[in-house]
Amino acid sequence: LANSGARHIIGCITSWSRKEVIPILERVGGTLWYACPYEGFEANEHVVYMHACPNQHLVPLLAHVVPRFGANGFLLGSNYIWGWETNRVARDLIADAGGKVLGERYLPLGEVDVSRL
């Protein structure tokens, strides 16, 4: 990036890759256009976050689910930044609704075998 003359990047799929690129962008004055969902709790003048954060999905979801099924929930996610931060938001929203988190489990990123749940 520094040697190419480019100042804009469109890409990075994972939160980890985005976090690795940010220091380089800060050093060279570049901008990342990040079009993937991201976990929030981060702002950087070198990143344009173009997708929703977990609260933008979870607030309307729980507004629909809680009156129909109750406020208690079990949180499941990938053992990765997205899963951790999404469940962080969910814990707060469940507590605000008067519910309890009955359990929380994280699977390795990409795991498809859920039989141990």
Reported as a single tens digit per residue, the pLDDT across 65-94 is: 999 999 999 999 999 999 999 999 999 999
CA-to-CA dists, residue 71 to 47, 52, 67, 112, angstroms: 35, 23, 8, 27
What does the mean pLDDT of the chain come to? 93
What CA dihedral angle connects 7, 85, 51 and 56, to 10 degrees? -150
Report pTM: 0.82
Taken in order of first residue, the domains within the chain and their CATH numbers are 8-49 (no CATH), 54-107 (3.40.50.2300)
